[in-house]
Chains A and B, each alone.
Chain A
Amino acid sequence: MHSIYKRTTAALAMSVALAVPAYAELTGELRIFLDTSNPAPRATMEAMIDRFAAEHPGLEIETTVIDREAYKTQIRNFLTADTPDVATWYAANRMKPYVEAGLFEDVSDLWAEPEIAENLASTKGAMTIDGKQWGVPYTYYQWGVYYRKDIFDELGLSEPTTWEEELANCQKIVDSGRACYTIGTKFLWTAGGWFDYLNMRTNGFDFHNQLANGEISWEDDRVKQTFANWKQLIDMGAFIDNHQTYSWQEALPFMVNGEAAAYLMGNFAVAPLREAGLSDDQLDFYQFVAINPDVELAEDAPTDTFHIPANASNKEAAREFLRFVVSADEQTEINNGSNLGQLPVNAKSSVDNDKFLQQGFNMLSSNSPGGVAQFWDRDAPAEMAKVSMEGFQEFMVKPDNADRILAKLERARQRIYDN
């Protein structure tokens, strides 16, 4: 009797040990701050945290969701006082101020674990500053041209791959009384997307990084070439009028109503376009065309991230949470079509069957040999990003001011990077 009891407990202990990975049971409080304030991402995150909590009953988890825009300024306060254990943020240069101020925890140890090292290799670069990793990614998405397939069919156009085809297509669209592209530059960053693509296609991925790091003059001929290419589109009337008055959402109706044929945007534009009534037969995607055949294609794919603040109190639990977030199963789950609808960061996860996610995933994994950039305002320092994107907006309205704008950006560059 006694021995049987002993054996069953031993077996029970064994099975428990097998079911739950081998770590000490986590206790205490885990405070998580999220900027995923839109309803769908919010629900996704909360469901994910519930699953994590179910695995760790000893842990008391407190989740705070902060409005996405307000979060960008509040993070500076809560990283220094009343600090959470886990916080969302963005990759690359956007995390640099906090890394330099010593407010993010070095999590290189997590990246040394084979589970993460092998499966998250593609995003490691974006999380690295000074040779160390400062957080983990949880989702990313492609940028590219979303276009009205029905309008292309009506005009007998096919997806362009070269700059000449692009210009020829656009001319036909303009001739049909439409604009080639809708865009709303009121909040500036959308113009940053156009600049990124034109610049990376004209001068390549490395040039993009050098420019973002202030190593290249804005009055360099290569930058001027980027703007000259841009001007070709502007001069032929490729963009909708009055885009400086619209936000990116306010620019959507032009595409929905068929007044514009395409939109250079991140994959998050798909959801509102579908909600506005465009079916998947009407809506399609193509990779931004090659311009300079000598440079390799490179893409923008902004990555959203989780970090552990340096002042966090429960770093052990926080690390476990980060491991959980990037695990293959969770990545498949939170990025699927009914949740975030974006791309998983774990190589072992599966991408949702959605046609845009599939195309984006294929593009980024097999047709972006030049590299993957974050986005202009995440790769360049905040101040330079602001000044330059204002310049891009002005250029899109007044292309003839190019020289004056570039001279102004060059002055800003000399001031911003010299300290």
Chain B
Amino acid sequence: MSAVDVPEQESWFHRNQQRIAPWLFLAPGLLFFMVYVIIPVFQSFNLSLYEWDGLGAAEYVGFRNYEDLYWEWVDRDAFYTSLKNNLIWLILYLAAIPAGLFIALFLNQTVAGIRLYKSLFFFPFVISQVVVGLVFTWFYDPTFGLLNEFLSFFGLGPLNVLGDERFVTYGIIVAGLWPQTAYCMILYLTGLNAVDPEQIEAGRLDGAKGWRMLWHIILPQLRPATFIAFVVTIIGALRSFDLISIMTQGGPFGSSRVLAYYMFEVALSEYGFRMGYGAAIAVILFLIMLCFIAYFLWSMYREERGH
């Protein structure tokens, strides 16, 4: 009969199922990534070419916002301070990685109550950055702060860490290192669980111990943990905003600003609303981040191909 002769008509979807399925699964993620990340990146760049107070009509000014930023750089003004502080943050914040590693090594043992110690060390990461900021603000307080009580014990001080433009950025970074170190510690603790005991055994037979053991046997196995710790620390340093906002509001006289805070100040704070200028700062910050993102993506890609 004819019914037998006619080949079963496969639908288009059916035929292309294999190719479509991954895109279908990716669609929600892609959609949100486009709407919340990719499109705003281009919008920011576009906005940075305008002068706009967020209310009236936007006026096209070409690259004048960038020109103003350049002059701020030349004049050693706010933009220069922010960029310089960002660099200090980037470098000093990395101290969280070795610090986290050594705490992790120290805690990676089995004695009574080790879980309690581990959670105590992890504690600063759990509490909010706002609380960390407040605690350190009081710690640094020039009249009744613990730091000055401590210094006066040795006949030093008083030191107004958050009120002195020479120390303020370092003071805030120390506050930021407290939770960041805990974060890196947790990453390394999980990493240490995966260290192969046979390799350690083999190393021991070959006479490795102490630093040599750490450097040649342990650390290479902790590479994935180091990589993640590096990524989160760099990102944490670049988006350092909350601590500055709580501890100093960018002060005294603007000397603890970083790019993220300066952008907020210019575009969104009480005296701000230069949207175009804020967007220009955001673009600069994005370009700096892009260097790191590109590096991370490249090394991840290399890793994948290596396997």
**Residues of A near any B CB (own CB < 8 A):** 69, 72-73, 76, 79-80, 97-98, 100-101, 103, 186-188, 241-242, 244-245, 377, 382-383, 385-386, 390-391, 393-394, 397, 408, 411, 415, 419
Contacts and interface: CB of A to CB of B under 8 A. Distances in A.
Contact of A245 (B75, B142, B271): B142
B56 to A, nearest CB: 5
Interface in B41-65: 51, 53-56
B253 A383 contact: no
Q: SS class of chain B's interface: helix, strand, loop or mixed?
A: loop
A394 B5 CA distance: 92
A186 B249 contact: yes
- Chain B, interface size category, equals 20 to 34
A251 to B, nearest CB: 11
B256 to A, nearest CB: 11
B303 to A, nearest CB: 44
Q: SS class of chain A's interface: helix, strand, loop or mixed?
A: helix
B252 A76 contact: no
Q: Which 3 A-B pairs have CB atoms at the shortest separation, nearest pair first?
A: A386-B271, A394-B253, A101-B55
A242 B143 contact: yes
A176 to B, nearest CB: 19
Given A394-B253, A408-B77, 8 more contacts: A80-B55, A98-B55, A242-B142, A242-B143, A244-B253, A390-B254, A393-B251, A411-B75
A415 B56 CA distance: 19
B160 A242 contact: yes
Nearest to A259: B143
23 contacts: A72-B270, A73-B268, A76-B273, A80-B55, A97-B55, A101-B53, A103-B55, A186-B249, A186-B251, A186-B252, A242-B142, A242-B163, A244-B252, A244-B253, A245-B162, A245-B163, A382-B272, A382-B273, A383-B271, A386-B272, A390-B251, A391-B253, A397-B253
Contacts of A411: 75
Contacts of B163: 242, 244-245, 397
A419 B51 contact: yes
A127 B107 CA distance: 66
B54 A76 contact: yes
A76 B55 contact: yes
Contacts of A73: 268-270
Contacts of A385: 271
A103 B54 CA distance: 12
Contacts of A377: 271
Contacts of A101: 53, 55-56
Nearest to B143: A242
Contacts of B274: 383
Nearest to A245: B163
B196 interface: no
A316 B274 CA distance: 35
B68 A415 contact: yes
A393 B253 contact: yes
B276 to A, nearest CB: 12
A184 to B, nearest CB: 11
A390 B251 CA distance: 8
Contacts of B77: 408
B75 A393 contact: no
A129 B273 CA distance: 21
A419 B277 CA distance: 15
A187 B160 CA distance: 17
A187 B249 contact: yes
A306 B116 CA distance: 57
Contacts of A386: 265, 271-272
Contacts of B248: 186
A391 B255 CA distance: 12
B55 A397 contact: no
Contacts of A103: 55
Nearest to B248: A186
A397 B273 contact: no
A242 B77 CA distance: 23
Residue from A103, A394, A415 whose CB has the most chain B CB atoms within 10 Å: A394
Contact of B273 (A97, A188, A241): A97
A393 B75 CA distance: 19
B68 A100 contact: no
Interface string B160-174: 101100000000000
Contacts of A419: 51
Contacts of A79: 55
Interface string B73-103: 0010100000000000000000000000000
Residue from B54, B68, B252, B265 whose CB has the most chain A CB atoms within 10 Å: B252
